[in-house]
Amino acid sequence: MKPTCWISFSLCLAVLVSSGPGNALAEASPVTVMSPDAIRVVETYSAGDLNFGLALDSIADTTFDIALTPGSVGSLLKLTQSDINAPGGTRVDFAPATPWTGAQILGGNSAVLVGQANLTGVTAGSTVSFGVELSKTGWDAPLPSGSVDINVVANRQLTGNFSVDAGRHMVGPQTSLGNLTLNGGSATDTGATRISVHANGAAQFANGLRLSSSTAHTFNGADQTHDIAVSYTGPTGNYSV
């Protein structure tokens, strides 16, 4: 019976050895990433700081690495968080490089990871993605990550066609002269900025001309038009428009 016991002990020992620290199961990341909302940027301008929220579900300080996701062009700038070791203070860690090795969130804290996209050469009408991914040896997949879409647009140019009521007009508080039809051009929403006309908004000029709109409209697509009322509030006389 002794050999049988010896074999059983050997099998148990083999199981214990194979389950040692070198083969430990990966654990889920205690850090979650919250992405900023999609933004629109005028061509040749910077997208500014892109703020990703990080939350740590652990009472222990956690150190990890941060990299840009494939296809992202830009850099990591800094990590800001409340300084729990100095109540009321703010801790700011600047990224030594991109990727960033050894970023840290203090236990039980939340932080803001700041990055900046490089939009050099990106033309109007394009949408690019800027993303970050956190990693650490022992973290299970999927790794925490986040991204933001950046729509690059051109400045929308409005043109106008003025239909004037020519002739003699009785001057009053607001004498109607006709309509100015604005045209937003052929650019789509993803290719150009949005321009809004406010309901009951008006622009008064020194020469007595007044432009107003009774309804609201946003130029956010191709081939859109909107009428603006043109009126006069100046003194009597002969004028050309």
For residues 111-116, give the mean pLDDT: 98
φ, ψ for residue 136 (rounded to 5)?
A: -160, 140
| C-alpha distances out from residue 241 to 70, 120, 160, 177, 203, Å | 57, 44, 14, 9, 16
> Quick one: which of 147, 55, 52 has its CA closest to 95?
52
pLDDT given for residue 12 in this prediction: 39
Can you list the alpha helix ranges (DSSP code H) found in 25-80? Answer: none
Least confident of 7-11, 19-23, 104-108, 120-124: 7-11
Share of the chain above pLDDT 70, in %: 82
On the question of a cis peptide bond just before residue 36, with omega within 30 degrees of 0, the verdict is no
For residues 171-189, give the mean pLDDT: 84
Least confident of 37-41, 147-151, 176-180: 176-180
Cβ-contact 224, 204 below 8 angstroms: no
| pLDDT tens-digit readout, 44-101 | 999 999 999 999 999 999 999 999 999 999 999 999 999 977 888 999 999 999 999 9
Residue 127 pLDDT more than 50? Answer: yes
Residue 116 pLDDT more than 50? Answer: yes
| pLDDT tens-digit readout, 136-174 | 999 999 999 999 999 999 999 999 888 866 666 666 666
At 118, is the secondary structure helix, strand, or coil?
coil
